[in-house]
Structure formats: structure tokens, C-alpha cells
Amino acid sequence: MGELRLMKGNEAVAEAAIRAGCDGYFGYPITPQSEVMEYLMAERPFERTGMVVLQAESEVAAINMLYGGAGTGKMVLTSSSSPGISLMQEGLSYLAGAELPAVIVNIVRGGPGLGTIQPSQADYFQAVKGGGHGDYRMLVLAPASVQEMCDHVKLAFDKAFEYRTPVMILSDGAIGQMMEKVVLFDHIPRRTDEELIKQCPWASNGRPKTRNHNIVTSLDLDPAGQERVNLKLQAKYREMEKKEVLFEEVQCEDAEYLIVAFGLSARICQKALDLARAKGIKVGLFRPITLFPFPATQVSNVGNRVKGILVVEMNAGQMIEDVKLSVGCKVKIEHYGRFGGIIPSPDEVLNALEQQIIGG
């Protein structure tokens, strides 16, 4: 078993990046995720593995540093929280358009605007539907524990390089700030230059005499060429939908009612499920782990066996749209949400289930 530690979610992201063999972190401080950079600065990986840790002058600078690093095939990471992630949207669209691998962590806080520093899930649409311009998607992972914060960093880097795409880890202030037991994976050395060139033959990192220049760009002024780029991207997204869906089912086998929730909300709903089961109400929990690709078939399979579905999110109803598109209109689907940094309690969720789904 790997090394056992008690860590904050934000610290786990930073430690996992070092262990995954990350080449560079670029970020700008914002609550509730500043511990990511604080931890990296305290650990000083630049002295151990050579990983660059840089506080950029702004989020806009950080995301463009990510673009530059990724363009040379380096394994790069940034983290921020909602308002900072909004500033990065142009860069995310460019990363997707230029097919560059990068990992972006959003420790979501309540919005809109400067909002609050308390946890929220109101950036679902932005992450999943594309906050930047153009027809692009990111693979989006939604960790529900500190252990997953650690494991998803490794997974995100793997998928970013496999698909040449930006991958987002969509978490929230509570998971970032809370401490849990983590089993850390073993250190993976950073790739050598030779390994990098082998893995990323497309990277713009010096032209040997044996090939032409590699060009990294998201610009193609010829519409036919740009359509080809789009078709290639779409083919990649269909491939992800086939192969990369992750989800968790809890007590769905005999469920008469279903709760669908991701991230922190799923943890709260697990407790609500326990309370409901203690009262004899047969409830199951479906937790999407990838938000894109969305586990559409899987939630439909479970959803169409039950009498009603409650979608619980710390927002005004965002993922519920994907649940409705997946499950269809034969089953009653309702939303329960709290906003602006308020976390629903397990009792509240149980009450909503009884009022809106069972009684309603």
C-alpha cells in the first residue's frame, strides 16, 4: 500500500501533481484553493524533481503559460476557483482547439460575479458545456473525496495526453478545505526529453533534421480546414463518450426512488440515503464521476426502473438537464438545490425527497 496521510483536498492535488511527474504548475492565488500553490511552494519540487512552480501575474497569464508548456509536450497544471476560471475561458478554448493536453482544477465557490468563498457547484454548465467559445468539450472529473482529488490528478494527466485535450477537475471549496485519509500513489519520475518526444511527436520543442516543423495552433482561416479540425475534435469526443464514462451506483438494485448527485452533494446524499433506508424508504444513489462524458445510458438504465428521481446539486439546477435528456420523460425528475455557498444538510435532502418525489 502507498503512503498514508491525512490531507486537505487542495494539498492532495498538489502532492499528486508532484508524484504524477508534473513538469509545471502555473497559478494565481484565490480562496478556497490557495493551498495548492502554498503546498507546492513549501514542498519545493523544483529542487527535487525539477518541476516548475510559478505564481503568474494573473489567471489569464497562468492559462497562457499552460498553453505554452503544453505546446512543447510538457505535463502542466493550473488551479483556480470560479472567478479565476472564468478569466481562463479563452485559454481553455485555445487549448481545446490546438489539441493540447493540460489539467485545470476548479475549486468552485459560490457565484455569480465575485460571489462568496464558500463551496458551490454552480460551474457545472461552464465546465461541461464549454465556457469558452467554439464547439469544444473537456473531459470533466468530479471527485467526491480527498482520495479522489489525489487519484483524479493522475487520471486527468493520463487522459489529457491520451486524447490531447484539456481535462478539468471540478471540485468545490469544501472538498478542497477538508482533510481525509489519503493513500498516495508512488512517485512517477518526470519524463526525460527522449520520452517526451516519443510520447508527443506533435509537440513544438525543437526540430530535428528528420522532420518538418511542428506547428501548434488553433487557427485555420480556410473554412474547409477548420471544419476538418472540428470533425476531428467531435470524433474524439464521441470516442470519450464510448470509453471514458465513470460513475458509482449505491444501493440501486432494489431502489424505488433515485437520487442523482455529483461531488460533495453525493456525499451528503449518501447520508440522506442512510437516513431514508433507516425509515424503510428504498432509495438508491447514482453518482456521475465523469460529468463529460456524462453517464447517460447508465443513469437511464437505473432511472427508468424507479418511481421518481431527485437531482441534488449546490446550484439552481444544471446537471438535471443532462439527467432529463438521458432518462427521458416517463419518470418524474425534480431538483433540489442550495446556492451561493450554502451546503444542503442530509435532513434537508431527505425532506426534499419525501416532499417533492414520494409525496408529490
Partner 1 sequence: MTEEIIIAGFGGQGVLSMGKILAYSGVMQNKEVSWMPSYGPEMRGGTANVTVIISDERISSPILNSFDTAIILNQQSLDKFEKSVKPGGLLIYDPNGITRNPVRKDINIYSIEAADEAGKRGLAKIFNMIVLGGFLKLKPLVAPENIRKGLEKSLPARHHALIPENEKAIEVGKELLKPVHLAT
User: Which one, 178 or 358, has the nearer CB to partner 1?
Assistant: 178
3-state secondary structure the chain: CCEEEEEEHHHHHHHHHHHHCCCEEEECCCCCCCHHHHHHHHHCHHHHCCCEEEECCCHHHHHHHHHHHHHCCCCEEEEECHHHHHHCHHHHHHHHHCCCCEEEEEEEECCCCCCCCCECCCCHHHHHHHCCCCCCCCEEECCCCHHHHHHHHHHHHHHHHHHCCEEEEEEEHHHHHCEEEEEECCCCCCCCHHHHHHHCCCCCCCCCCCCCCCCCCCCCCCHHHHHHHHHHHHHHHHHHHHHCCCEEEECCCCCCEEEECCHHHHHHHHHHHHHHHHCCCCEEEEEECEEECCCHHHHHHHHCCCCEEEEEECCCCCHHHHHHHHHCCCCEEEEEECCCCCCCCHHHHHHHHHHHHHCC
* Residue of 174, 252, 299, 302 interacting with partner 1 (CB under 8 A): 174
Other Cβ atoms within 10 Å of 42 Cβ, number = 10
User: Which one, 127 or 272, has the nearer CB to partner 1?
Assistant: 272
Q: How many residues bind partner 1 (CB under 8 A)?
A: 27
Q: Which residues pair with 90 in a beta bridge?
A: none
Residue 232 binds partner 1, judged by CB under 8 A: no
Residue 255 near residue 283 (C-beta atoms within 8 A): yes
* Residue of 48, 125, 135, 179 interacting with partner 1 (CB under 8 A): 179
User: Which one, 5 or 187, has the nearer CB to partner 1?
Assistant: 5
Residue 351 binds partner 1, judged by CB under 8 A: no
- Shortest spacing between CB 263 and partner 1, in angstroms: 12
* Residue of 6, 219, 231, 316 interacting with partner 1 (CB under 8 A): 6
* Residue of 267, 282, 305, 324 interacting with partner 1 (CB under 8 A): 267
- Shortest spacing between CB 270 and partner 1, in angstroms: 4
- Identify which range of 229-237, 262-270, 276-284, 294-302 contacts partner 1 by CB under 8 A: 262-270
Closest among 180, 187, 168 to 15, alpha carbons compared: 187
Per-residue cell: 241: 463518450
The position carrying cell 487542495 is 10
x/- mask, partner 1, residues 29-68, rule CB under 8 A, reads --xx------------------------------------
Residue 347 binds partner 1, judged by CB under 8 A: yes
Closest among 239, 336, 240, 249 to 285, alpha carbons compared: 249
- Shortest spacing between CB 40 and partner 1, in angstroms: 18
- Shortest spacing between CB 268 and partner 1, in angstroms: 4
Question: Looking only at residues 107 through 146 of this chain, which bind partner 1 when binding is defined by CB under 8 A?
Answer: 116-118
Residue 270 binds partner 1, judged by CB under 8 A: yes
- Identify which range of 4-12, 66-74, 123-131, 150-158 contacts partner 1 by CB under 8 A: 4-12
- Shortest spacing between CB 239 and partner 1, in angstroms: 33
- Identify which range of 57-65, 131-139, 161-169, 271-279 contacts partner 1 by CB under 8 A: 271-279
Residue 1 binds partner 1, judged by CB under 8 A: no
* Residue of 129, 271, 277, 305 interacting with partner 1 (CB under 8 A): 271
Q: Which residues pair with 166 in a beta bridge?
A: 102
Residue 251 binds partner 1, judged by CB under 8 A: no
User: Which one, 288 or 341, has the nearer CB to partner 1?
Assistant: 341
User: Which one, 5 or 324, has the nearer CB to partner 1?
Assistant: 5
Residue 285 near residue 269 (C-beta atoms within 8 A): yes
* Residue of 180, 249, 334, 354 interacting with partner 1 (CB under 8 A): 180
Q: Which residues contact partner 1 by CB under 8 A?
A: 4-6, 31-32, 116-118, 173-174, 177-181, 264, 267-268, 270-274, 343, 345-347
